[in-house]
Each structure stands twice: as structure tokens, then as C-alpha cells.
Structure 1
Amino acid sequence: MTDFARPIEAAAPPFAKTLLPLLALALAMAVGFTMMGAFGTVQEGAKAELHLSDYTLSLIQGLSAALPLAVFSIPIGIMVDRYNRVRMMIALAFVWTLGTVLTGLAHSVPLLFVARMLTGIGTTGALTAALSLCADFCVPTQRGRAMLIVNLGKSLGVALALALSGALFGLFAHGRAPAWFAGMMPWRSVHLCLAVVSMLAILPLFLLREPVRQEVAAGTHAPFKVVAGELWARRVFLIPLFIGQISVVMADAAAGIWVSPVLSRTFHLQPDQFAGWMGALLFGAGVVGAIVGGLSADRGQKSGRRGGLLIGAILAAALGVPAALFPIMPSVPLFGVAVGLLVTCGAVTGVVTSVALTVLIPNELRGLCIGAFIAIAGLIGYGLAPTLVAAASGMLGGEAHLAQGLAIVGVVTSAISVVAFTMAMRRAPVSATA
């Protein structure tokens, strides 16, 4: 069996030679984020069958993702810094696949909650490992392009969660697909079908080999006291960087969870009517955002300015403020344009933040920092943002005001991210080992 990757020595290989392992990571993340986001596309079917309220849906979609992230992301991040990351990715891929199967079989709120938890643990844990691997497959000056490829996979997964799930929903709902799953409800059949796709699509991970770690300051097995000291020394940079990206995640998480209900309730569209074009829109926006984010980060490093690689994140966060008004747009085309801009801006900040962590933070801290980012962003972004939207719409008069509540949450969180990224840029360290 041919290996996709060879250990990286002191002399960096040409970037083209890293493409195969990066594409394997990108494919895995595409699958993971498809599994993670699929339920949001067909959640109205689950709501009708299981008699769920919007608050219950917000807990299933938000808290079920936030709790495991808060509990498992930091331990997974520490393991990523110390153990074989390829093996961890394979194990986590099986976790998200199991969660997808259980989602399709769940007949109670507690089981559905657990199923979504497993999907979130697998996908976000694998993202931590993938970003750490991505950094060691290339040198720092190539990491913007490398992160671009992995984030393209993530963007593809977000798009497929809408497009593929919506298309499958239409096939099962209208009887145009074989009765593979014994006449189950369409939303259940969608998840079982996706689980089969997942098992096939993660096979390339078995061809990867663990690369040699780069930019190690204290050693991958340094005592926790030493690691904690290094982390504390970088707090003035990490805290505003955390706040900036978490605020972006809040806006994106709220949009991702509630975009389908807004289209259904406000514009009276069914999943199979909007899933195709929304999926294409989100993928296109993710591609553009990943490209802009990766290239801006590499160019920012070459500018010589302190924290220059964060310039792209600041500009993208600023554009995200008006884009967050998408729920209250007067027409579907304007709705689509604003959503596309918001997703593009989120992709830019995500790539730039990932590059910042891999360029400005030592190797033995990267998994921990990425895990902490995911934990806090998950707890606040996925756990709080969707419920904030439901609470805001309730204060405005009830579930009929979902669009207005979503717009308020998006604008406020996007504005906070602009301020935070600006502070992070001013406080950025000179290098990973400085």
C-alpha cells in the first residue's frame, strides 16, 4: 500500500508534494462536517415527528454540540500534542459515523441529543488533529495555502450538509429512492444513507503516516507546568484572538442552525426547494473565503508588520456586520447574497486564525490551543448562540420573529469580533518560539 505522506525533514519539500495528504485531510473534514450539519437541513421533519419546540431544537442543535466540545476538546487537544494524530483522526471518524447512525434511529429526545453529541465530538476533535497535521506537512510560509485546502474540505462539508441532505430528503420524501431503510421517515433515511457514505469516504485516512513535528520549543512531552507557563506567557495575544474567533463562530453557528427554518417559515420553501442552491452558495462562499484567508495570511506574514497575518481577519469581520442582517432581507436573492457574504467572512477568519495558531504558537501548544478554541467556541457559539436567537425572538413576540432575533444576535457578535481581532493583531508575538 502506498503511503500518502513522508516525514518532513529540515529541508521542506515543494508544496505540490504535500497535496495528497492535505487532500486526504480535506476529504475527511468534508465528510465530518456533512454529518455534523445534516440534521439542521432536515430538522423540521424531526420536529414534526417528535413534536419538538424551537427551544428543544436549539438544545439538540446547540447544547448537544457545546457540552461535548467543552468536556472533550481540551483533552483531545492535549492528546493531539503528544500522540499519533493520524490514528486519532481515524478513531474520531468512526465516532461521528456512529453519531450519524444513532441520529437516524433516535426515537426520543435524549437519544437524539446523545447522537448529535457524538457527531460533534468526532468532527471537531478530528478538526483539531487535522489542523495540527496540516501544519507539520509543510513549512510556516506555506501554511496559509495548506490551511486553505483543509478548510475547503470543511466548507464542502458545510455545503453538502445542505445540498446532499436536501437532495436525499427529496428522494426519500417523494419515493424516488429504493426503500433501503424499511419505510423510515425521510429525515431518518437521510442520516442512515450518509453514514454509509461516511464509512467509504474516510478510507484514505488509512494511507496517511504521522509527519515529524516542527517548531517544538519545550518538547512534546514537557511537564504540564512548563506547557502552562508557555501558554500563560502568550495570554495577551491568545485572549483577544479567542474572543474574535468565538464571536464569529457565534454568528455562523446561529446562522447555520436557523437558516433552514427561516427559509421554511418566512419564505415558505421546503428543504428540497432550497437545499441545492443554498448548498452551492455555501460551498462557493467557503471556497472564496478559504482562498482569501489563506492568501491573505501568507501575504500578511510577508508584510513585516507585527501581527500582519491577522489583517485579513479584521477586514472580514468588519464585512460580517452588515452581512448578519441576512434574515430580514426582503427577498430570497438578497437573503442568499447576505448569507454568502457572512459565510465567506467566517471562512476567512477561520483560516487566518488557524494559520496564526500554527505560525505564532509552539508545536507543543497547538493542539491544546486549538482544542481550547473549539471547546470555548462550542460552549458559547453552539451552546449559547442558538438559544440566544430563540430568546431574542421570544422577547420580540414569539417564534414568528425568528428572523429578527437571528439578525440581532448576528450583528452584535460580528461587531465584537472586529474589536477583538484588532487587539490580537497589536499584541501578536514575533514568532512561535519567541
Structure 2
Amino acid sequence: MTHHATDAVSEEAYPSALRANITLALLFIAYIFSFLDRQILALMVGPVRASLHISDFQMSLLQGFAFSIFFVFAGLIVGRLADHHRRTWIIAGGILLWSLMTVTSGLAGSFLILFIARMGLGVGEAALAPAGFSLLSDSFRPRHLVRATSIFSMGSLVGGGLAFFIGGALIDYLSQTPRPIQIGSLEPWQMAFIGVALPGLLLVPALFLLPEPARRGVGTGARPSLAVTLRYFWSRRQDFKSFYLCSGLLSVAQYGGLAWFPTHMMRNFGLGPLEAGAILGTIQLVGSIVGTAGGAALTEWFQRRGIADAHLRTVLIASLGIALGLIAPFMTTIPFTLVFWSVAIICLSSYFGSVIAALQLLTPNNMRASNSALILMVLSLCGLAVGTALIGGLADLAFADQPSGIGRSLAFIGIPTALLSALIAFRGLPRFASAIRETLYGGD
């Protein structure tokens, strides 16, 4: 079963460029806030461990498993809702929920309460990406979709960078003696959670009032059941599998790096949260912009030259770059460590916009949010639930009490998965080229 771009509604039916860009800007800001609330925990490993008396493995559960387990299942439900209901309201509700759960994280006084709050955070954040990618596919013409999805995806990386910047500065400020701000008996890390949660609430009315674009594409008016949707995806598994497998493998380095590389820098080189946050935040912000722009430009460059497998070719190149960058934890000086980590961040930022754009092009409109939710489920399971826990567990087992242990664990797990991703992408190029020709041009 395929669909053709020529069957879609006319280009004049798309929203104006101004409205489309306002939609993109709001989604981009929302993604920043979502990752700011999610990733600030990476800079607070030390104080949270000390306060709650937990291990690296338990911290990995808070950073990965607790969030991802509900993010995964809620994402599937939200994806189905977003395929048939007003997506802007779904996103607004998600932002409200994840902001409240971040405040709850700041009020947690035990591992169990923080674990539950992180699960709630996952439920709220599950609303954003599936509905957001679906909105973009109905707001931007196909030739502009790679750039739009890349910019939206960049919001997660910018948010991760700002978590380092803002989190490091906020924790340093709140930890001063005497404390400049004190809320009851809350510790600085708890007040930091509350501080980063509040700005997200400002987006709720803006998303609630944002106009919903008309749905376009094959199957626009139909409402297939979940069973029909899953059967369709299974029938296209050979067309989709390279993107799913590569994204899952690369998510190990993506989420593992965000969760554990700040800890590596602080343990191995003696940096404090403020210094580590400033350095890694700069790399994250600059690298995400360079990588996102570079990845989108590379895919578009391939497309202008008539290369049908453009999207997957970008994934292949990014996978090789990520494997190279992940030798950073083996470096013994800060400058060399940061040079290679910058390579990793640029390449980690470069590929996902092309992945999502390819899947949106290959999927009928009334299944697009479900497909986005499904691939995000794979990313969450592989990267957040499994990857971060494997890295923390390997560090506890093989590198206990070694300052560089968490970084080496990241490298030993991340490099092989990136190389395997490159191999899968290379082998999948012919199949994807055939699928995209059939989808867009009817096989011509």
C-alpha cells in the first residue's frame, strides 16, 4: 500500500508561511522546555544521590526507566488521539501535566516519590512530539518538511544544552551560603526543579489558542482502528525498519550522553556543576544548531541531485561521526575530550529530522502521529530505559570508584551501537530509495 504526493491537496491549501512558522516556533520552544525539565537531573546526580542515599544504577532508573516506561505507552495512546483529534489542545494538556510533575519532583523527599514524578513527567511529554510532527506535516510543503522537522527536533537538543547552562547556574546560586532563596526545608536541587518548571506554564494558553491546520494526504478522512494501523506498519516494515533500527541504536548514545557525560566531566576532571554546565551547555547549544542545520542541508543537497535515498544516507554519515566522537571519554585532557564530544553532539543532532521527514512522507496522514509515537517509543526503550541503565550498571560493575568509569561505560556501549547503525543504514539504502520513489512518484 502506498500513497502519492500528487494526490494531496493543492499547495494553496497549506497554511501561510507566517502561520506555519508561528506553529514551528511554539513547538520548538515547547521542546526546549520539555528537555529542560527532563535533563536538569543530569547536573544534580551528586546532590540527589546524597540526599536520597541512592546508587548510580538507581539514578539511571530515575533518568531513564522511570520516565520512559510511561512515555512509551502514553505516546502510543496520544499518537492515536493526535491522528483524529485536535493536536494543539493535546499538546497544551501535555505541557500542563509535565510542568506540574516537575514541580512534584522538587517536592519529592524519597526515591519512590521522585520515581513516580518522573513517570508523570513522561506521560506529559509524550503528548508533544507525535502531535507536533503531525502538525508540521500539515503546515509545511513536502520540500520544506525536512527543515521544519529538523528545527523542531533541535528544540530537544537546545533544551538539553539550556538544562546544563541554567541548571548549573541555578544549582550554584541556590547552593550559596547563606542561601539567597529558601522555600521551607527544600534543598537546592529541589528548588531547582520548581524553578525550571514554571516557565513552561506560559505556553499552555498559546498552544490552546493556536489554530489547527487542515489535515492533508491519503486517508485524511478515514479513521483506521489500531489493529488496521499496526497491520499497515507491519506491511511496510521493510521500508521502515532501517530508520527504526538506526534511531534505536543511536538513541543509546543520545540519551546516555545527555544523562551521564556531565557526571563524567565532574568526576574525571573535578569540574563543578556551574563550570560543567557552562562548558557542556555551550557545546550542546552550538553543536545542535550546527548539526541540525548541517543534517537538513545535507539531505536537501542529496535531494537536489536526485538521490532518492537522501534521508537514510544522512543517517549513515551521522552514525560514523557519532562513533568517532564517542572516543571522547578516553581522552585524558579537557580540550581533547571536548573536541571529540563536540563531534558527537553535532552528529547526534544531524539525523533525526531526516528520519522523521522520511517516515512522514512514507505514511498516510491519518497514521502519521501514530508512526511518530511508535518510533519515539523505540527511542525511549532503547535509549532511556535500556541505554542509560546499561551505562550506569556497567559503571557500577566494571568501573566502580573509577573517576572515568561512567564515561568509559558510555563509550564501550555507544561506539558499537553507532557502528551497527551505520551498517544497517548502508544495507537499507536500496530498499528506501525504491520506497520513496514509489511513494512520491508512483515508481517512476
Range class of TM-score, shorter chain? over 0.9
Find the aligned partners of 2:232 and 2:63 in 1 and give their Cα distance: 35
Aligned to 2:4: none
Aligned to 2:340: 338
For 1:253, which of 252, 255, 275 is the aligned residue? 255
1:176: Cα distance to partner?
8.0
Find the aligned partners of 1:283 and 1:293 in 2 and give their Cα distance: 15
Q: 1:104 to 1:423 in 2, by over 3 A?
A: same
What residue identity is the alignment partner of 1:120? Answer: G
Q: Does 227-236 or 413-422 show the bigger shift?
A: 227-236
Q: Secondary structure at the match of 2:127?
A: helix
CA contact (8 A) 1:78 1:368 kept: yes
Aligned to 1:402: 406
Find the aligned partners of 2:97 and 2:56 in 1 and give their Cα distance: 27
Q: Secondary structure at the match of 2:350?
A: helix
CA contact (8 A) 1:101 1:192 kept: yes
1:306: Cα distance to partner?
2.9
Q: Give the TM-score taking structure 1 as reference length.
A: 0.93
1:102: Cα distance to partner?
1.0
Kindly indicate whether residue 439 of structure 2 is the aligned counterpart of residue 421 of structure 1.
Answer: no
Give percent identity, aligned residues only: 23
Q: 1:328 to 1:202 in 2, by over 3 A?
A: farther
Q: 1:277 to 1:202 in 2, by over 3 A?
A: farther
Q: 1:111 to 1:247 in 2, by over 3 A?
A: same
Find the aligned partners of 2:307 and 2:343 in 1 and give their Cα distance: 27
C-alpha deviations, 1:224-279, integer Å up to 9, x for none? Answer: 45433421221002122101011111111111111121112111111012111211
Q: 1:220 to 1:277 in 2, by over 3 A?
A: farther
C-alpha deviations, 1:323-345, integer Å up to 9, x for none? Answer: 11122211112222222221211
Q: Secondary structure at the match of 1:266?
A: helix
CA contact (8 A) 2:35 2:156 kept: yes
Find the aligned partners of 1:249 and 1:228 in 2 and give their Cα distance: 23
1:11-22 aligned at under 5 Å gives the runs 11=12, 12=14, 15=17, 18-22=20-24
Aligned to 1:324: 326
What residue identity is the alignment partner of 2:135? Answer: L
1:403: Cα distance to partner?
2.2
Aligned to 1:112: 114
Kindly indicate whether residue 37 of structure 2 is the aligned counterpart of residue 35 of structure 1.
Answer: yes
Q: 1:172 to 1:199 in 2, by over 3 A?
A: same
For 1:388, which of 390, 412, 416 is the aligned residue? 390
C-alpha deviations, 1:183-207, integer Å up to 9, x for none? Answer: 5211111111111222124443233
For 1:102, which of 104, 107, 116 is the aligned residue? 104
CA contact (8 A) 1:324 1:414 kept: no
Q: Secondary structure at the match of 1:37?
A: helix
1:13: Cα distance to partner?
5.6
1:217: Cα distance to partner?
3.3
Q: Secondary structure at the match of 2:269?
A: coil
Q: 1:228 to 1:195 in 2, by over 3 A?
A: closer
Query: Unpaired runs of 5+ in structure 2?
Result: 1-8
Query: Unpaired runs of 5+ in structure 1?
Result: 1-7
1:178: Cα distance to partner?
4.1
Q: 1:116 to 1:301 in 2, by over 3 A?
A: same
Find the aligned partners of 1:117 and 1:156 in 2 and give their Cα distance: 23
**Aligned length in residues:** 427
C-alpha deviations, 1:59-89, integer Å up to 9, x for none? Answer: 1111112211332221221112111110100
For 1:158, which of 157, 160, 178 is the aligned residue? 160
Find the aligned partners of 1:412 and 1:115 in 2 and give their Cα distance: 33
Q: Secondary structure at the match of 1:237?
A: helix
Q: 1:9 to 1:189 in 2, by over 3 A?
A: farther
Q: Does 299-308 or 280-289 show the bigger shift?
A: 299-308
Find the aligned partners of 1:270 and 1:391 in 2 and give their Cα distance: 24
Q: Secondary structure at the match of 1:348?
A: coil
1:3-402 aligned at under 5 Å gives the runs 10-11=11-12, 12=14, 15=17, 18-175=20-177, 178-179=180-181, 181-217=183-219, 219-400=221-402, 401-402=405-406
Q: Does 145-154 or 215-224 show the bigger shift?
A: 215-224
C-alpha deviations, 1:286-310, integer Å up to 9, x for none? Answer: 1111111222233333333332222
Q: 1:390 to 1:155 in 2, by over 3 A?
A: closer
CA contact (8 A) 2:72 2:126 kept: no
Find the aligned partners of 1:209 and 1:65 in 2 and give their Cα distance: 30
CA contact (8 A) 2:88 2:212 kept: yes
C-alpha deviations, 1:8-50, integer Å up to 9, x for none? Answer: 9641466455211111111111111111111111121111111
RMSD of aligned residue pairs (Cα, Å):
2.1
What residue identity is the alignment partner of 1:168? Answer: L
Find the aligned partners of 2:87 and 2:15 in 1 and give their Cα distance: 21
CA contact (8 A) 2:24 2:148 kept: yes
Q: 1:33 to 1:376 in 2, by over 3 A?
A: same
Q: 1:9 to 1:21 in 2, by over 3 A?
A: farther
